[in-house]
Every structure is written in C-alpha cells, then in structure tokens.
Amino acid sequence: MTQNASSAVTRMLQTHPQIGQSPFDMNALTECIEACFECAQVCTSCADACLGETEHAGHLTHCIRLNLDCADICTTTGRVLVRQTQPDMGVIRAQLQACLAACKACGDECQQHAEKMDMKHCAVCAESCRRCEQACQKMLGGLSA
Amino acid sequence: MTQNASSAVTRMLQTHPQIGQSPFDMNALTECIEACFECAQVCTSCADACLGETEHAGHLTHCIRLNLDCADICTTTGRVLVRQTQPDMGVIRAQLQACLAACKACGDECQQHAEKMDMKHCAVCAESCRRCEQACQKMLGGLSA
Amino acid sequence: MTQNASSAVTRMLQTHPQIGQSPFDMNALTECIEACFECAQVCTSCADACLGETEHAGHLTHCIRLNLDCADICTTTGRVLVRQTQPDMGVIRAQLQACLAACKACGDECQQHAEKMDMKHCAVCAESCRRCEQACQKMLGGLSA
Amino acid sequence: MTQNASSAVTRMLQTHPQIGQSPFDMNALTECIEACFECAQVCTSCADACLGETEHAGHLTHCIRLNLDCADICTTTGRVLVRQTQPDMGVIRAQLQACLAACKACGDECQQHAEKMDMKHCAVCAESCRRCEQACQKMLGGLSA
C-alpha cells in the first residue's frame, strides 16, 4: 500500500457518479473519512489492549467503555460520510457532532493513561482520537460556512 | 419468547452490577434501547426491500440512502445506551441527537412513499422510525431535566 | 409492542417485494433473524456487565472478549439474513457457520460463569447464545436439504 | 499519514500487552486486518456509488446487495482479528471463511461490471475484494499449519 499516491477510499470518491454534486470539500471529506475509520480500528484495538492489561484492567474500565463507544460511533460516522448519493445534511451534521464528542472524551481518557501509567497503546489511541476530533471539527466548520 | 413478561434486554439491565448507579430512568432507557435496535433491523430491511422494488427502485434512491444511514446510527445508539458501566453523558446526548435526526429524516421519507406509492414496507419502517424518534426525544428530555 | 401478534421484522418480511422467490423457510428465517439481533444486544450488554463486575472483571476477560466477538458476528449475520434481494447462498451459509461457532463459544463461557460464579447476566446471555446457536443450526439444516 | 513507516494498527499491535502470546504471524495478521477494514470501506462506497448510477442502478441490484453484505462481514472480521486478548481459534477460522466467501462473491460481481459496463468504482472495489480474499486465505493457511 506504501507506493499508492492515493488510498482506496480516495479512488472510490473520485469514481463516484454523483461526486460532481457533492456539497463537501473533497480534501476535508477524505481526511475525515480516513480519520474516522482509523480511529474506529484503533479504539477497537485499545479496548482489547486495556482488557489484556491483567494488572491494570481495573483502572482502565472507563477507558475500555469509551473505546467501545468511540469505535462504534467512528465506524458509523465513516460509513455515513462515505455515502455521497443524496446526503441529508442535518443527519451528517448531528453524526459529526456525536463523533467529535466521542473522540474528545476517549482522547482525553487515553491521554491520561498514556501520561500517568505509561500505557503506550493509549498514547497511539489518543493520537488517532485527536486527529479524528480535528477532522470532524473541520468538516463541521465547512458545513456551517 | 412469547411467554416472557420481560425481554432479554430488560433482564440484562436488571442483572447489571452497576444498574443501581444508573443516571437513567429505567423505563425510558429500556424503551429507547428496544426502539433503536428494532429501527436498525427495520431500516436494514427497508433498504433491501426498496432495492428489490425493480420497477420503482429509481424513485427510492434517497429512501435507501437514508435507511442505510439510519440503520447504522440506530445500531450504534442502541449499543452505546445498553452500556451502563461509567457512561459519558456528553457522548450519549450527542449520539441520541444524531439518532433523533436520522429517524426523523428516514421516517419522513418513508411516510411519503407509504402514502404516495403505497409502499407497505415503508409504512412499517416509518412507524419504527417514529417510535425511535420519540424514544430518543424522551431520553433527551430526561437527561436535561 | 405487547399486543402485536407479529414483530416489526415479521411485517417487513411479509411486505418485501421479492419474498415470493425466497429460498428460505419463513418460520426458520424469522426465528433466526430475531435470535441473531437479540443475541447481539445481549452480548453487548454482557460484555459491559462483566466489565462492571469490579471485583471479578479479571476472571471475566475471556468472557468479555467472546461477548464482543459474538455481538459483532450476530449483528452482521442478522443484517445478511434480513436482506432478501438476490441472496448469495455461499456467503449466507459461511456466515451462519461463523455465527454458530461464536454463539457456541460464548454460550459455553457464559454458562460456566453463571454456574460457578452465579453471574446472573451470564445466565441470561448463555440462554440467548443457545437460542441463536440452535436457530443457525436449523437454518443450515434447511439450506443443505 | 504518508510519512509513517507503520500504520496506526501496526503500532497498536506492537504495543499490545499480550502480543507475545499471539498465535498469529504478525505480517499476515497486519495485512489481513488492513485488507478487511479497507474492503469494508470500499464496499460501503461501492454500494453507494452503484445506487448513484441513476441509469444503471437496475442492473447493479445484485452488486449493491453483495457490497452491503461484504462491508458488514469485513468490518466484523477486522474487529475480531484486531482483538488479541485470549482469542478463540474456532470462531476466528469460521469468520475468516465467511469473509473469504463474501470477498470472492463480491469481487466476482464487481469485476464483471468493471469489464462489461466500465464501472470504475467496481474496478477499485474488485481489487480491494481480491486483496482481502487473498489475505484471509493466507491467514487460514497459517492457522491450519
């Protein structure tokens, strides 16, 4: 995958029959879709890694719970955004706001565990959550403009 | 399942170790969880039924798209609500608002096809969307009280 | 919902435009779809209830992991089965076998915790897993006939 | 993301507390996880692109249906594989087989539309399906060894 100038999702958007009517900025959209799906994978993995921290799992209960919520919310947001045929802007805006809230809450929690307990998977996860939070914020900014 | 006075989800909530600390009204919560999961199934089915309307599928494009969004959003909302361990109220509120928006948009669209094209699956779907929209509204009302 | 003789999913299948060509026995299909979606909800809840068992969560790691797998697999199997437009029998058969394996593994694990640790949510979950396992088995039996 | 030598998922696996006990070949596992999640995104997009082909959507009904199944199955398979804490090999094997069947069916269908109708999104999708099918095959080969 390393030598591809464009990701598979980018190529899908470029070949979509209704992409010409898209109300979205293509760069912001592509970045947000990729951030959502990456965050969904990383949060699924972080919930599992926290569960596998046999000595610390008790302190990671809230983190696991937020990871599971964030994984589900990011998956759904990515799917809604990837669909370009006749979008409903009210639904998209509300789902982006939910995604932003989930990534903020999960990123804050993971960052704490990265800093205080040196949880390296939480450090990677906090980074993906921040990236997704910012991508959602940027998309929302573009929509209300 | 016919002779059970209580659904499986009700029994799960009743036996949850942290249900005593739940910030939610149990009746509203149970109703909302069941409405979300029912709506997710019905919207998945309505997208497929619309796709199978060989003579009318062209007129049902927007309906299919909204059904797919609504199915994903309701599944995720149901999963977030079913989790009772250390909930984040900001995430829950935002996801409920996204679910309300999706059910409103999808319910409006399906109701039109039920009335104008006599699409009976859209009539069933509109009913599930309304029920879920109202259950989300009721939950949101309880949270801000 | 109590006075409805038929569930929303039943009514959706009855109004589906291609239900006349369905290769499935309608009773077995309806039962399997409902069992898959119920099991998905219950496993999502059981993973969360186990996570909330603050004194026992360490012993429930394998249970949580199987619950999460089973919830995802049952959701996907229910969605695949609910679609009646031009099904691919090879895909359906393979997904039913995965669902059967997940419900068997998760049901066995939950039953142990129900019996040895008196985990009441695991008892409810084991019951939903068994019901879904049997419904998948019945569907698979009908397909190979 | 371009300058990262390793993807976020790779870094998550490397920092997982139980990765030392993993029964999987790390290269095959990482490749399969990435292929599953890419295919899930691409199939979600291809279903929507086919739906947006206003003049041809009638010929793409089977393609849309297979895309939706494949998107759900690949998402679930990716989630199951990403979890490294106490895996159940029977569940993983069965889910990999379902994923292989879905990618094969969807890849075959998309390739036809790419060749006969010059559907460029189907060409991209067929490629992702093939990559995922092969990655699942490789994982299954490693498990039975």
Digit-coded pLDDT (tens) for A22-44:
999 999 999 999 999 999 999 99
Q: How far is B144 from chain C (nearest CA, A)?
A: 25
Mean pLDDT, chain A, rounded, equals 93
The tokens describing C107, both together, are 């049901």
Q: Which residue type is seen at D111?
A: Q
Q: Do A91 and B101 touch (CB under 8 A)?
A: yes
Window from A41-45, C51-55, C90-94, D12-16 with minimum mean pLDDT: C51-55
Exposure b/e, D57-73, CB count within 10 A at least 16 = b: beebbbbbbbbbbbbbb
- The band of D58, judged by pLDDT with boundaries at 50, 70 and 90, is confident
- The band of B14, judged by pLDDT with boundaries at 50, 70 and 90, is very high
Query: Which contacts (CB < 8 Å, 24+ apart) does range A5-11 have?
Result: A7/A34, A8/D38, A8/D41, A8/D42, A8/D124, A8/D127, A8/D128, A9/A33, A9/A34, A9/A37, A9/A82, A9/D38, A9/D41, A9/D42, A9/D45, A11/D124
Q: Are B92 and B80 in contact (CB under 8 A)?
A: yes
Greater confidence, A4 or C99? C99
User: Which of A79, A92, A118 best tests the D interface by mutation, with the highest count of D CBs <10 A?
Assistant: A79
Largest Cα separation within chain B, whole Å, is 53
What per-residue confidence (pLDDT) applies to C74?
98
Which pLDDT tens digit goes with each residue over B45-98? 999 999 999 888 778 999 999 999 999 999 999 999 999 999 999 999 999 999
End-to-end CA distance of chain D: 35
User: Which of D32, D45, D83, D124 best tests the A interface by mutation, with the highest count of A CBs <10 A?
Assistant: D45
What is the C-alpha separation between C39 and C33, in angstroms, rounded? 10
**Average pLDDT for A127-133:** 98
pLDDT at D131 over 60: yes
Q: Are C52 and B85 in contact (CB under 8 A)?
A: yes
Q: Are B84 and B12 in contact (CB under 8 A)?
A: no
The DSSP secondary structure of D109-132, one letter per residue, reads: HHHHHHHHS--HHHHHHHHHHHHH
- The band of D4, judged by pLDDT with boundaries at 50, 70 and 90, is very low
Which pLDDT tens digit goes with each residue over B90-116? 999 999 999 999 999 999 999 999 999
Q: Do C128 and B8 touch (CB under 8 A)?
A: yes
What is the C-alpha separation between D50 and A56, in angstroms, rounded? 48
Please report the ipTM that was assigned to this predicted complex: 0.95
What per-residue confidence (pLDDT) applies to A145?
54
What per-residue confidence (pLDDT) applies to A144?
67
Mean pLDDT, chain C, rounded, equals 93
Q: Do B94 and A85 touch (CB under 8 A)?
A: no
Q: How far is B90 from chain C (nearest CA, A)?
A: 19
Exposure b/e, D7-32, CB count within 10 A at least 16 = b: bbbbbbbebbbbbeeeebbeebbbbb
pTM of the model as a whole? 0.96
Q: Tokens 């129900």 correspond to what residue?
A: C114
The tokens describing A85, both together, are 């045929």
- The band of C5, judged by pLDDT with boundaries at 50, 70 and 90, is low
Q: Tokens 């399942």 correspond to what residue?
A: B1
With vertex at residue A12, the alpha carbon angle to CA A7 and CA A16, rounded to the nearest 5 degrees, is 155
**Average pLDDT for D51-72:** 93
Identify which of B48, B57, B65 has the shortest CB distance to residue D58.
B57
Sign for the CA dihedral angle at A32, A34, A40, A43 comes to negative
The tokens describing C124, both together, are 């409810």
- The band of D54, judged by pLDDT with boundaries at 50, 70 and 90, is confident
With vertex at residue A53, the alpha carbon angle to CA A48 and CA A57, rounded to the nearest 5 degrees, is 90
Which residues are CB-neighbours of B15 under 8 A, at least 6 positions away? C49, C120, C121, C123, C124
Q: How far is C59 from chain B (nearest CA, A)?
A: 15
Q: Do D61 and C85 touch (CB under 8 A)?
A: yes
A124 interaction partners in chain D (CB closer than 8 Å)? 8, 11-12, 15
Alpha helices in chain A, H assignment, sequence order: 8-14, 26-51, 61-82, 89-116, 120-144
Among D65, D61, D45, smallest CA distance to A12 is for D45
Mean pLDDT, chain B, rounded, equals 93
What is the C-alpha separation between C88 and B113, in angstroms, rounded? 28
C58 interaction partners in chain A (CB closer than 8 Å)? 54, 57-58
C64 interaction partners in chain A (CB closer than 8 Å)? 51
CB atoms within 10 A of CB B114: 18
Domains of chain A from N-terminus onward: 3-142 (1.20.1270.360)
**Average pLDDT for C38-48:** 98
Question: What's the distance, CA D48 to chain centroid?
Answer: 17
pLDDT at D2 over 60: no
